[in-house]
A and B are shown apart, each in its own frame.
Chain A
Amino acid sequence: MKILVIEDEKELAQDMVKYLSNEQYLCEWVSEYRIALEKINTYEYDCILLDLMLPGGDGLSLLEELKNSNKQDGVIIISAKNSIEEKVKGLKLGADDYLAKPFHQAELAARIESLIRRKQFDSNNLIVHNELSIEIHAKTVSVHNKQVNLTKKEYDLLLFFMGNKNRVLSKGALAEHLSGDFADMFDNHDFVYAHVKNLKRKLREKNYGDYIKTIYGTGYKWEA
């Protein structure tokens, strides 16, 4: 899978590339409007991460360019503005998602994963990980072909883990994923423990490979 990161903040772009690059994703980074336009016109990407404030041009016009040339690349806007107007405008112009800065890398990874999954028309909407399979449309989970009944939050957590395999996920990132932008209104995210504990228990009951590991002090990790 090819990902294009269009971001003028070098450090942030490098972090994204570092976090996302693995055997599955190949990341490219550009920081200028003109070069971004060239790349977009020349290649095809599975996902474009687009910062709207770029030197040399407006990120939104890149979106228009994509739309006009009938490109199917998925686009996630990453913006510092976090305004509803901008979000609506971006989504109207054909962006698939909108993520406000600052964000957790894990959140970005999960959004990319979800976007790419949606873009794959041929897929049967099934995520399979060894003995575990997730039916996206029906929102059902089964281990060894036996269905596991999860609450909505547990299901969301499982998908989040799936999008961040082998990554350490902090409690804050998990809380933010579950409660959205407003998680930072609270200082106590202990409820995350309860949800993860329940998820682990339910999966363990069906004998899954015990992939969810607790990392002392920081959070959790899905070890594949």
Chain B
Amino acid sequence: MTRLLTKPLKAFAIYALIILLVSIPVYVLVVDYIWVNELDENNWLTIQHTKQRLQVHDLTADEIERINRLWGELQPGLSIEKAETKIAPADSFYEITRPNFYDAEDDADRFRGLRTYVMLNGETYWLIIETNVEEWDETFIAIAVVTLIFFTILILGFVILNRRITAKTWKPFYQTLQSLQSFELSKNQKLLLPSTDILEFQEMNKSLEQLLKNNMDTYEQQKSFTENASHELQTPIALLKSKLDILLQHKDISPEISEILAGIEPALSRLSRINKNLLVLAKVENRQYSENKPLGVQEYILSAQSLFEDYINDKELDVTLAIQANFKIMANPFLLETLIYNLFSNAIRHTPVSGQIHIELKGQTLSFSNSGKAALDITQLFKRFSSTSKDRVSSGLGLAIIKEVALKYNWSIEYYFRNDLHTFSVRF
């Protein structure tokens, strides 16, 4: 993933690189053209001057010979030689590359030359001037290096500017993003979006606030609906239970009716559990268990173990504990109890007869492992009423409650299946 502002930066950088790369040969051409032009002009001026001076002095052939020798010693760029031809051809500019005596490092130097003809004493002479000119490749390297240095500076500038722009202009955007990331519908918090003078951000924030407000209202309604519904259901459930108790006392109940009555009780008890669990879920979501105290986790595990002893023995389960004593955690007693009892009863219910349950409390992690055959569908596991097994009694809410309690305290819940063991672990 790329960040929003690195994308244009990348494009800018690539564009700048292309332009600068293209500019190198162009610069080289231009610089070389200027060089050559300027040198040609210079050569021409020098040679004009020399020509004129030579013509002013009435020089003999010997004197010309001496001048040429002197030039050869003092100023090797200039030379005068007798030409074989009588007619004076036009001036000619030329370029030559040859080794330079003084410049040993370079194998060859480039020279720009001008050859002209001068008539002295009726004789035609070649007047030649050659001036050293920077080679192509050297100009190219110099320009390339300078360009790349500037490219680097440019990119650095882009990055710094980009950061500045990010920090300033995009600040409200990132603030909004951050508040959205930390926002949780279930936490009943207010979403604080930054005020901004940028129109688009303002509109985005406004829309977000509206969207969230609608969501929160719906969520609130749903929460209070759940709580109200389960409150309302409690009385009829209590009545059914009580009526059933009264009915059982009747003297003349036939075996058939008795069997029917026996079938009502588990269903009623399941109904009651579902309702209780819904209420607990609603209350956790409504932040009703706010009072926390330091609680010994070990005690809750041991009390659950003794409470569930009969169910453990009935299924002949092998329960092993590896629990560090004196581990305390800040939580609401009811919620910790609910969490541990649900994890424990879950393990008991889902372990086959004569299976194993291993409970471990180590470091900050409490884990319940129990024998099983195949891994459960982790995507469905913690959802409400999503049964991952055909267990009849499960209220379908046990794991949802576990998750909700963990969420409340920012504990992390993990499930994995390893070595034929289902493991649920809570990291406090």
Name, among A105, A178, A192, A215, the residue most crowded by chain B CB atoms within 10 Å (CB to CB): A105
Q: Knowing A101-B238, A186-B311 touch, does A170 contact B245 (C-beta < 8 A)? A: yes
Stretch of A13-21, A33-41, A127-135, A138-146 at the chain-chain interface: A13-21
B341, A172: Cβ atoms under 8 Å?
A: no
* A217/B242 in contact, CB under 8 A: no
Cβ–Cβ contact B248 & A80, under 8 A: no
* B62 CB–A CB distance under 8 Å: no
Which of B73-81, B255-263, B379-387 contacts the other chain? B255-263
> In chain A, residues 25-74, which have Cβ atoms closer than 8 Å to a Cβ of chain B?
none
Q: Mark B232-273, 1 if CB is under 8 A from A, else 0.
A: 001101111111111011000101001101100110011011
A9 contacts B by Cβ under 8 Å: yes
Residues of A within 8 A of B259 (CB): 217
Q: Is B392 among interface residues, defined by CB-CB distance under 8 A?
A: yes
Contacts known (A105-B246, A185-B273, A185-B345); A172 close to B266, Cβ less than 8 A? yes
B10 within 8 A of A: no
Contact in complex: B235, A12 (CB < 8 Å)? yes
B223 is an interface residue with CB less than 8 A from chain A = no
Whether A102 contacts B234 in the complex (CB less than 8 A), given A179-B307, A186-B311, A188-B314, comes out as: yes
Nearest-neighbour CB distance to chain B for A115, whole angstroms, equals 19
Q: Which of these, B234, B246, B262, B393, contacts A15 with CB under 8 Å?
A: B246
- 8 Å CB interface, A159-201 against B: 167-168, 170-173, 175, 178-180, 182-188, 190-192, 194-195
CB contacts (< 8 Å) of A101 on chain B: these are: 234-235, 238
Give the nearest-CB partner of B231 in chain A.
Answer: A80
Please, which residues of chain A bring their CB within 8 A of the CB of B400?
none
| Contact partner, B272, options A15, A102, A178, A187, Cβ 8 Å | A102
Asked if residues A18 and B273 are in contact (CB atoms below 8 Å), the reply is no
Known: A170-B248, A218-B248. A187 touches B270 (CB 8 A): yes
Q: In the complex, which residues of chain A have a beta carbon less than 8 angstroms from the beta carbon of B398? A: 185
Report whether A182 and B245 are in contact in the complex, using a CB–CB cutoff of 8 Å: no
CB of A202 within 8 A of chain B? Answer: no
What are the interface flags for A79-122 relative to B under an 8 Å C-beta threshold, 1 for contact and 0 otherwise?
01011110000000000000001111110000000000000000
Distance between Cα atoms of A105 and B241 in the complex (Å): 8
Q: In the complex, are the beta carbons of A16 and B242 less than 8 A apart?
A: yes
Q: Give the interface SS of chain B, mostly helix, strand, loop or mixed.
A: helix
Known A80-B234, A184-B270; contact A104-B241, beta-carbon cutoff 8 A: yes
- In the assembled complex, the Cα of A9 lies from the Cα of B241 at a distance in Å of 14
Interface residues on A, range: 35 or more
In the assembled complex, the CB of B266 is this many whole angstroms from the nearest CB of chain A, namely: 6
Cα distance A180–B314 in the bound complex, in angstroms? 17
Quick one: closest A residue to B240, CB to CB? A102
**Nearest chain B CB to A155's CB is how many angstroms away?**
14
**Chain B residues near A172 (CB, 8 Å)?**
265-266, 269
Q: Which of B245, B276, B291, B313 has the most CB of A within 10 A?
A: B245
Interchain nearest-CB distance for A192 vs B (Å): 8
Contact of A12 among B242, B276, B349 (CB under 8 A): B242
Chain A residue at smallest Cβ distance from B241? A102
Majority secondary structure, A binding face: helix
Whether B310 is near chain A, meaning CB under 8 Å from some CB there, is yes
CB of B334 within 8 A of chain A? yes
Q: Give bound CA distance, A188 to B312, whole Å.
A: 11
Knowing A84-B334, A184-B269, A190-B314 are in contact, say whether A217-B255 is a contact too (CB < 8 A): yes
Measured in the bound complex, the distance between the Cα atoms of B97 and A187 in whole Å is: 103
Which residue on chain B has the smallest CB distance to residue A10? B239
Q: How far is the CA of A179 from the CA of B309 in the complex (A)?
A: 9
With both chains docked as a complex, state the minimum distance between the C-beta of A160 and any C-beta of chain B, in angstroms: 14
Q: Which residue of A lies closest to B291 (CB)?
A: A85
By a CB distance below 8 angstroms, the chain A residues around B266 are 172, 187
Q: Give B341 Cβ to nearest chain A Cβ, in Å.
A: 6
Does A11 lie at the interface of the complex (its beta carbon under 8 Å from any beta carbon of B)?
yes
A102 near B314: Cβ-Cβ < 8 Å: no
CB distance from B235 to the nearest CB of A (A): 6
B352 contacts chain A at the CB level, 8 A cutoff: no
| B333 at the binding interface (Cβ < 8 Å) | yes
**With the chains together, A12 CA to B238 CA distance in Å?**
8
Q: How long is the Cα–Cα vector from A37 to B204 in the complex, in angstroms?
A: 60
Check if A191 sits within 8 Å of B273, measured CB to CB.
no
Q: Answer whether residue B140 sits at the interface, using C-beta atoms and an 8 A cutoff.
A: no
B246 partner residues in chain A, CB cutoff 8 A: 15, 18-19, 105
Assuming the contacts A80-B231, A84-B334, asked whether A179 and B308 have C-beta atoms less than 8 A apart, the reply is: yes
Q: Does B348 contact A (CB under 8 A)?
A: yes
User: A interface vs B, CB < 8 Å?
Assistant: 9, 11-12, 15-16, 18-19, 80, 82-85, 101-106, 153, 167-168, 170-173, 175, 178-180, 182-188, 190-192, 194-195, 215-219
Between A and B, 18 residue pairs with Cβ closer than 8 Å are A12-B235, A15-B242, A19-B245, A80-B231, A80-B238, A101-B234, A101-B238, A171-B262, A172-B269, A173-B245, A179-B311, A182-B308, A184-B272, A184-B273, A185-B393, A187-B392, A190-B314, A192-B310
Name B's A-contacting residues (CB within 8 A).
231, 234-235, 237-246, 248-249, 253, 255, 258-259, 261-262, 265-266, 269-270, 272-273, 276, 291, 307-308, 310-311, 313-314, 333-334, 341-342, 345, 348-349, 392-393, 398
The 4 closest A-B pairs by CB, nearest first: A187-B393, A102-B238, A217-B258, A191-B310
